[in-house]
Amino acid sequence: MKVGILTYHFSDNYGALFQAYALRKWFLDQGVPAEFVNYHPSYVEEGGPLDQPWKPALWRKNATICYMHLSHLRRQLFDNGTQRAAFDGFRRRSLGVSGPRLRNAEALAANMADFDMLVCGSDQIWNPSIQRGLDPIYFLEIGGADHAHKVAYAPSFGRSAIEPRYHTELGNLLRGLDGISVREASGLEILKNAGLPLDRARVVPDPTILLGSFDAFLLGNVTPDDSVFCYALRTDQVIREVAETAADLADGPLYSPQSSRQRWRDIGQGVAPGPVDWLRMLASAQLVVSNSFHGIALSIVLNQPFIAVALPGKRAGMNARARNLLTLTGLTDRMLETADPIEIQRLIKSPINWEGPNARLAAMRAEGETYLNFEILAAGSRSREATSI
């Protein structure tokens, strides 16, 4: 049996790459061949084509597309070449990505014959974009794939709710899946609003938690130091002050990885690591400060002391992902809304007793494994039936 995975494996984003690595590695560890379907649509990072630019009602959508075009061009011209090469190398060596970029449904249909099971993986693949809305391909609505067993493993909507105008379309797309799961409890409520009976879906952990070990990158390559490692996404608001205060109180150097999408000056000393060096820096720091779901998730998996920082203002809806994880692991007290020095000091001085969180992680991992093992068996049965006809 062969598994094809569709997720955001193409993004130069540390969390996206490690969740992709973890899901494929889990299948390989079970003896199930798995590879990424190299679907990389232009709308995700490049904006995609303009939509009837002469229509005033679509100005916001087309403005977003133009902005994304310009941002992509800027990255192409001014990105750190060494860092980009490290991301590309990780995709080749650690993710096993090969073959041409598949941009549309027609290109995908010609590449489906070999897969017995298709998995739309974790990350925010079900988050409707302003430029595209819901993408049917990330619900495995793909020509030439009717023979395959279709499973969703831990996709995220990226927020606690989606606009009601998507509910009918979402409900229709979900009907084509054989197995349905989401990464956050809030995702179940979205599925319910789309008309899906909740006995058809379950919550499973992010692939980084499912895999649970990154020794392939870390064993023998991590030396603990006194640094504070700040991983900020989307904004430097609040997290900058938290990280700077934490570094002062912990009396250690402050490092933050730079990103081509960064719109703020470096927090502490900016560095430009590839994925593996990024993980090693996170694993060796005395403290991690992050407002990123995967920055927090990997800190928990690696039992690293951390402070989770809530995204402020209009981005606050994205905090549901991190809050859900912290609730499930019993670590809700590790999230800060403001840069309160007293609270920062408290968290620095309060070592985490990992016994309870690790037990909860093990239970979450078991949930994910039970779900996937059931779907693997179902896919195998379907494949044998098809062969016998």
- Whichever domain contains 308, its CATH number is 3.40.50.2000
Assess if residue 334 is contained within a domain: yes
Calpha distance 207→24 (Å, rounded): 9
Whichever domain contains 34, its CATH number is: 3.40.50
Considering the domain architecture, whether residues 32 and 180 belong to the same structural domain is answered as yes
Does 221 share its domain with 189?
Answer: no
197 located within any domain: yes
Q: Would the pLDDT of 52 be above 80?
A: yes
For all residues of the chain together, what is the average pLDDT? Answer: 93
| 333-360 mean pLDDT | 96
Residue 269 lies in a domain: yes
Residue 357 falls inside a structural domain? no
Taking only the tens place, the pLDDT of each residue in 175-223 is: 999 999 999 999 999 999 999 998 999 999 999 999 999 999 998 889 9
Domain count, the chain: 2
Q: Is residue 302 part of a domain?
A: yes
Residue 286 lies in a domain: yes
pLDDT of residue 388: 61
More confident of the two residues 313 and 343? 343
Q: What is the pLDDT of residue 387?
A: 65
Residues 69 and 43: their CA atoms lie apart, in Å, by: 9
36 with 81, same domain: the answer is: yes
Residue with tokens 């993980």: 279
140 and 171 together in one domain: yes
Residues 369 and 229 occupy one common structural domain? no
301 and 212 in contact (C-beta within 8 Å)?
yes
Please state the rounded mean pLDDT for residues 58-87.
Answer: 85
Same domain (yes/no): 34, 126:
yes
Considering only the C-alpha atoms of the chain, give the largest distance between any 2 of them, rounded to a whole number of Å. Answer: 69
Strands 180-182 and 201-203: parallel
Confidence category of residue 10, pLDDT binned at 50, 70, 90 = very high
Q: What is the dihedral of CA 235, 90, 323, 47, to 10 degrees?
A: 50
Same domain, 43 and 185: yes
Return the higher-pLDDT residue of 129 and 74. 129
Tokens (6 digits) for 259: 């990103």
31 and 151 fall within a common domain = yes
Express as a percent the part of the chain with pLDDT over 90: 77
The 10s digit of each residue's pLDDT in 283-313 is 999 999 999 999 999 999 999 999 999 999 8
Instruction: Please report the pLDDT score of residue 145 as a whole number.
Output: 95
The model's confidence at residue 385, banded by pLDDT at 50, 70 and 90, is confident
Residue by residue, what is the 3-state secondary structure of the chain?
A: CCEEEECCCCCCCHHHHHHHHHHHHHHHHCCCCEEECCECCHHHHCCCCCCCCCCHHHHHHHHHHHHHHHHHHHHHHHCCHHHHHHHHHHHHHCCCCCCCCECCHHHHHCCCCCCCEEEECCCCCCCCECCCECCHHHHCCCCCCCCCEEEECCCCCCCCCCCHHHHHHHHHHHCCCCEEEECCHHHHHHHHHCCCCHHHEEECCCHHHHHCCCHHHHCCCCCCCCCEEEECCCCCCCHHHHHHHHHHHHCCCEEEECCCCCCCCCCCEEECCCHHHHHHHHHHCCEEEECCHHHHHHHHHCCCCEEEECCCHHHHHHHHHHHHHHHHHCCHHHEECCCCHHHHHHHHHCCCCCHHHHHHHHHHHHHHHHHHHHHHHHHHHHHHHHHHC
Residue 165 pLDDT: 95
pLDDT of residue 131: 87
Q: At what angle do helices 293-301 and 319-329 cross, to 10 degrees?
A: 20
β-strands 3-6, 34-36 pairing: parallel
The number of beta carbons lying within 10 Å of the beta carbon of residue 300 is: 25
CA distance 268 to 266: 6
231-252 pLDDT per residue, tens: 999 999 999 999 999 999 999 9
pLDDT band at 46 (very low <50, low <70, confident <90, very high): confident
The reply to whether 312 and 372 lie within a common domain is no
* The pLDDT value given to residue 389: 57
Mean pLDDT value across residues 157-170 = 93
pLDDT band of 381, cuts 50, 70, 90 = confident
Q: What is the pLDDT of residue 147?
A: 94
152 and 83 in a common domain: yes
CA distances from 277 to 150, 271, 272, 363 (A): 35, 10, 9, 29
Question: Do both 107 and 178 map to the same domain?
Answer: yes
Confidence of residue 282 (pLDDT cuts 50, 70, 90): very high
- pTM recorded for the entire structure: 0.94
The partner residues of 259 in beta bridges, in order of sequence, read none
Residue 288 lies in a domain: yes
Q: Are 201 and 191 in contact (CB under 8 A)?
A: yes
Range of the structural domain that residue 295 is part of: 215-352
pLDDT, mean of residues 101-122: 94
Residue 12 lies in a domain: yes
Phi, psi at residue 71, to the nearest 5°?
A: -65, -40
Question: Is-contact 113 144, C-beta < 8 A?
Answer: yes
In the predicted model, what is the mean pLDDT of residues 48-58?
Answer: 85
Tokens representing residue 264 in the block: 């703020």
Q: Are residues 238 and 273 in the same domain?
A: yes
Residue with the two structure tokens 């001085």: 349
Q: Of 138-152, 256-270, 327-341, which gets the smallest average pLDDT? A: 256-270
* 286/348 Cα distance (integer angstroms): 9
> Radius of gyration over alpha carbons of the chain, in Å?
21
